[in-house]
Amino acid sequence: MIKIWRSPYSNFGCNTEIPNDLLDETITADKAYSDQTLKEIAASGFNGIWIHGLLHHIVTETILPELGKNAKNHQQHLNNLIKRATKYGIKVYLYMQPPRSLPLSDHEFWTNHNDIAGQIEDVDDDKNNKSFKVQSLCTSTEKVQSYLKNASAKLAEMLPGLGGIILITASEYPAHCLTRRGKVVGPTGEIENITIECMRCAKRAPEDIISELLTLVRDGIRSVSESIKIIAWNWSWSFHVDSPCEKIISKIPKDIILMAGFERGGKKDILGHKNTQIDEYSISYAGPSPQFIESIKLAQKYRLQGLAKLQFGTTHELATVPNLPLIGNLFEKAIYLKENNLAGFMGCWNFGNMITANTAAFNWFLSDSAPKNKTDALRKFASTYFLDCDVNKVTESWNVFAEAMTNYPFCIPYLYAGPTNYALSFISYPAPLNNKSAGRSWLMDERGDDLSGAIKDFSLNEIIIGFNYLADEWSKGVSLLEQGLSSRDTKHASEEIANAKVCNAIFRSTYNLFRLYKLRLNWSEDKLAEYSHISKDEMENLKNILPYIEQDKRFGYHSEAHGYMFNAKMLKQKIAVLAKLPSGTSTSSSIIIIQKMAEDR
Question: Is it the case that residue 345 has pLDDT exceeding 70?
Answer: yes
The pLDDT, as a whole number, for residue 487 is 72
Q: What is the pLDDT of residues 461-499, one digit of tens each?
A: 999 999 999 999 999 999 999 999 987 668 999 999 999
- Partnered with residue 3 across adjacent β-strands are 345
Does a cis peptide bond (omega within 30 degrees of 0) precede residue 419?
A: no
Mean residue pLDDT of the chain comes to: 94
What's the one-letter identity of residue 151?
A
Confidence of residue 448 (pLDDT cuts 50, 70, 90): very high
CA distance 45 to 353: 13
Please state the rounded mean pLDDT for residues 538-565: 97
HEC string for 101-117: CEECCCHHHHHHCHHHE
Count the Cβ atoms, other than its own, within 10 Å of residue 12.
Answer: 20
What 8-state DSSP symbol labels residue 100? P
Alpha helix (H) residue ranges in 279-347 = 290-301, 327-339
Count the Cβ atoms, other than its own, within 10 Å of residue 175.
Answer: 27
Q: What is the pLDDT of residues 229-243, one digit of tens each?
A: 999 999 999 989 999
Q: What is the pLDDT of residues 61-113, one digit of tens each?
A: 999 999 999 999 999 999 999 999 999 999 999 999 999 999 999 999 999 99
> Phi and psi at residue 304, in whole multiples of 5°?
-110, 150
CA distance 390 to 387: 9
* Domains recognised in the chain with CATH numbers: 2-99+141-388 (3.20.20.80), 394-600 (no CATH)
- Range in 144-148, 162-166, 269-273, 488-492 with the lowest mean pLDDT: 488-492
Length of the chain counted residue by residue: 601
Count the Cβ atoms, other than its own, within 10 Å of residue 114.
Answer: 9
Q: Output 64-67 pairs: Cβ under 8 A, ≥24 positions apart.
A: 64/109, 64/113, 64/137, 64/147, 66/108, 66/109, 66/112, 67/109
The pLDDT, as a whole number, for residue 588 is 47
CA distance 299 to 284: 26
What's the one-letter identity of residue 509?
S
CA distance 573 to 294: 50
Contact yes or no for 401/326 (Cβ under 8 A): yes
Contact yes or no for 541/451 (Cβ under 8 A): no
Please state the rounded mean pLDDT for residues 262-285: 96
The pLDDT, as a whole number, for residue 126 is 78
The pLDDT, as a whole number, for residue 163 is 98
